[in-house]
Chain A
Amino acid sequence: METTLQASNKKKAVRRGVLIAAGVVVVLLIVPQVASEYITYVAVLAMLYAVLAGSYDLLPGYTGPLTFCHGAFYGIGAYSSALLTMKAGIPFWVALPMSGIIVFLFAALIGYPALRLKGHYFAVTTFFLGHFIYLVILNSISLTNGPMGLRGISPPESVLGIDFTSLQASYYLILTFSVGVIVLLMLFVRSGFGKLLVSIRENEDLAQAIGINTAFCKVLTFSISAGIAGLTGSLFAHFFRLLHPTTFAWMTSEMVVIMSLVGGLGTLIGPIIGAGIVTLILELMRFAPEMRFIIWSVALIAVLVIEPGGLMGLVRRVRGGKR
């Protein structure tokens, strides 16, 4: 009896979640029609960050290991895609999946040895990896044009008569991509594989003892998470058509971590909401760029002290459920 009650509650919660998500999507559909160009750009940034934070959550949130290099993977994707189209003349629609695959393989190559390290050691390694990638992008001037930035990236080629040089069309492209990836991420964490990942997070020894190849699962998840960041980077490059190394510096990786913590790690929807909130606050604080680091740090510490589970933890506590 209790279980049927819980099941119906669960169903209700799922229905409510779907309704809220549908509402958000509807609002996002209307944005470019009614809002100013500036707000449309902010919405694009929020969506790209939502995908970044959602894909980031796969590793620290669901599998366990903390990383600090998601922004760097985003950067590799952006530069790969831009350079593939500019220097090799490959169309965007081919460069997009290619940049995802390139970052996936790169992360697998790095993750295979690095994920043997545990806890803080792995986290610190990814921190330096992220910075290293930034330095490479910054200093490979002949390839990336270094600190001068990369200009003249082409917009996606038109498909089915849709011309992506217009702001609206590329806005809807990014909206479609974001919704698609987020739905796939949700299916991914709810799948049997997602359950294996959570068991690794909860207790790696026991996970091994019941037959899970934890090393393989961690490397695969790290690479998938990175690959999605790569795809997102590619879209970023061809939407803004201008790349600068600092976009992918330490601050971006840290932003993704902050978004995930604010929203609540290991909930997927939390980091996505966190991305929206943080992007909005960042824009509102544009009048005082120096102040935002201070306000930011204080806010982050406050979240960690008051509710380490982030927003989703707060929601759970308010609902009073045992989960």
Chain B
Amino acid sequence: MSAILEIKHLRKQFGGVVAVDDNNFNVERGTRLGIIGPNGAGKTTTFNMIAGFFKPTSGRIEFEGRRIDGMKPHRISQLGIGRTFQNVRAFRELSVFDHVLAGSLAHEFHLKPSAQQLEHVEQILEWTALSPFRDQLVRSLTIAAQRRIELATALATKPKLLLLDELMAGLTFVEIDQMLDLLGMVNEKMGITLIVVEHVMKAVMAICKRIVVLSYGRIIAEGSPQEITTNKTVIEAYLGEEESYA
């Protein structure tokens, strides 16, 4: 298998604060990688650098063998990296259909949306269980639906790699299960590589085959979910001293 994304000696400094410190990891094509870590560990900063919203202080990011660090976000998106945001971002005054269509138009521009495009959008709405809401305004929907809209819009840009930043935050258990099914389909049927930043442990453990653990900007562990849950350094990072876990 080949790596779709390679992170080499990635570092980001905000003034005197080192948010991400000399990180290295690869993501294999078609896999699902989880990034976890306590608050402020540098997970979202890493995402923002991959997606082009922050320029790394040093290091390189390669996507399909091509250097992308320092590129503008829209260029990176056009190369095939989609993302969702930690706090829901949405085109609130658009209908659900137009919201997803915007993603499709941004990827492949037509003055008048093509028939294939409209069909593709309908299909994505079907997959993400948004069809019943297609003509409603995005702002009138629940958080769970808005998160699915964000995902659906990212899918409409036909990404090869998706960065999902706390997609499960604020969802109920039932909604989390639905989202997990959806992500399984996105990965297996559509062949999209996933990188997931998540605080809902159950979700990370369920979807990811490999997990990277960050703490204070550094990678402190990397491995399968089983390896991570039994890793002493990881438990210390989350819970503090040794005595504190039973």
Q: Which residues of A contact B (CB under 8 A)?
A: 2-3, 6, 191-193, 195-196, 198-199, 202-203, 205-214, 322-323
Contacts and interface: CB of A to CB of B under 8 A. Distances in A.
B214 to A, nearest CB: 22
A209 B102 contact: no
Contact of A208 (B77, B91, B102, B140): B77
Contact of B85 (A191, A196, A206): A206
B234 interface: no
A127 B233 CA distance: 58
Contacts of A2: 135
A210 B154 contact: yes
A196 B105 contact: yes
Given A206-B90, A206-B91, A211 B85 contact: no
A202 B91 contact: yes
Contacts of B7: none
Given A211-B106, A212-B74, 11 more contacts: A2-B135, A191-B111, A192-B109, A192-B111, A193-B109, A203-B90, A206-B150, A210-B102, A210-B107, A322-B137, A322-B140
Contacts of B140: 322
B85 A205 contact: yes
A208 B90 CA distance: 12
Secondary structure call for the A interface: helix
A198 B91 contact: yes
Nearest to A204: B89
B10 interface: no
> Looking at A3, A6, A192, A193, which has the most chain B CB atoms within 10 Å of its CB?
A192
Contacts of A214: 74
Contact of B74 (A3, A198, A208): A208
Contacts of B90: 202-203, 206
A211 to B, nearest CB: 4
Interface residues of B, number: 39
Given A205-B89, A211-B157, A322-B137, A193 B107 contact: no
Contact of B137 (A192, A207, A323): A323
A106 to B, nearest CB: 26
B134 interface: yes
A152 B73 CA distance: 53
The 9 A-B pairs with the shortest beta carbon distances in the complex, nearest first, are A211-B77, A202-B91, A208-B73, A206-B89, A211-B106, A199-B102, A210-B106, A210-B103, A212-B106
Contacts of B74: 208, 211-214
Nearest to B110: A192
Contacts of A207: 91, 102, 106
A198 B137 contact: no
25 contacts: A2-B135, A192-B113, A198-B93, A199-B99, A199-B102, A199-B106, A205-B53, A205-B85, A205-B89, A206-B89, A206-B91, A207-B106, A208-B72, A209-B73, A210-B82, A210-B107, A210-B153, A210-B156, A212-B74, A212-B106, A213-B72, A213-B74, A214-B74, A322-B136, A322-B140
A213 B94 CA distance: 19
B94 A211 contact: no
Nearest to A266: B93
Contacts of A3: 134-135
A306 B103 CA distance: 35
A37 to B, nearest CB: 42
A209 B79 CA distance: 11
A203 B150 CA distance: 12
Contacts of A192: 105, 109-113
Nearest to B73: A208
> Looking at A2, A6, A199, which has the most chain B CB atoms within 10 Å of its CB?
A199
Contacts of A191: 111-112
A206 B99 CA distance: 11
A210 B111 CA distance: 17
Interface string B72-100: 11100110001101000111111000110
A57 to B, nearest CB: 15
